[in-house]
Amino acid sequence: MSLDHLWATWRSEYVRDQLAEPHGAGAGGHGSLFERILNSGVDDSVTHIVRRGPTCFVILNRFPYTSGHLMVLPNRAVPALDGLTDAEHDELWATVRDAVGSLERAFTCDAVNVGLNLGHAAGGSQSDHLHVHCVPRWDGDANFMTVAAGTRVLPVSLDEAWARVRSAWIERG
């Protein structure tokens, strides 16, 4: 039995470039990549921030696995769940719940994958700032294309996905 390797070296270039200038925003400065995007002063429609809350925010993944792939994050860089305050923890998971419902409304998906990569060894490229991935899925979707052809099939642009999710978002009060 041999061990095959699937290299995703394009992510290294993306991360390096984003650390220098996230989304071309010129945010520079200090903090994690996500803190710099959040505090860049660039319009949310450009950074694809879907929602801002008191302690957490939601942003579309710039290199999504499928259309609508978003992330829920605390506003401050926290690498592990046990670093969250009670307020951040409560808002994070309430926002994940709302994100899943918003994706279901916006994309009429059949399912949603929800997950975290905690720590560098878990595979996350931004292990200094925990983030919960919410990925819409459909029966018969084309996710095999990434492995089989090194290609992602994304029928909806980031701008359209941002508009759909944002308009489908229901605030709980």
Indicate if the pLDDT at residue 147 is higher than 80: no
| Residue of 83, 88, 115, 117 lying closest to 100 (CA atoms) | 115
The predicted pLDDT at position 145 comes to 47
Confidence of residue 116 (pLDDT cuts 50, 70, 90): very high
Do 58 and 50 meet the contact criterion of CB atoms below 8 Å apart?
A: yes
Beta partners for 60? 70
Domain map (residue ranges) of the chain = 48-168
Do 154 and 138 meet the contact criterion of CB atoms below 8 Å apart?
A: no
Q: Is 133 a catalytic residue?
A: no
Give tens-digit pLDDT for 25-77: 444 567 999 999 999 999 999 999 999 999 999 999 988 888 899 999 999 99
The predicted pLDDT at position 133 comes to 95
Give tens-digit pLDDT for 119-139: 888 877 788 999 999 999 988
Do 55 and 91 meet the contact criterion of CB atoms below 8 Å apart?
A: yes
Within 8 A by CB and 6+ apart from 10, the residues are none
The predicted pLDDT at position 123 comes to 76
Other CB atoms within 10 Å distance of the CB of residue 172: 8
**Of the residues 48, 69, 129, 131, which is catalytic?**
131
The predicted pLDDT at position 74 comes to 98
Q: What is the largest CA-CA distance in the chain?
A: 55
Confidence of residue 158 (pLDDT cuts 50, 70, 90): confident
Ramachandran bin of 138, using left for φ above 0, alpha for ψ from -120 to 50, beta for the remaining angles: beta
Give tens-digit pLDDT for 71-115: 999 999 999 999 999 999 999 999 999 999 999 999 999 999 999
CATH H-level, domain 48-168: superfamily: HIT-like (3.30.428.10)
| Residue of 136, 142, 130, 48 lying closest to 92 (CA atoms) | 130
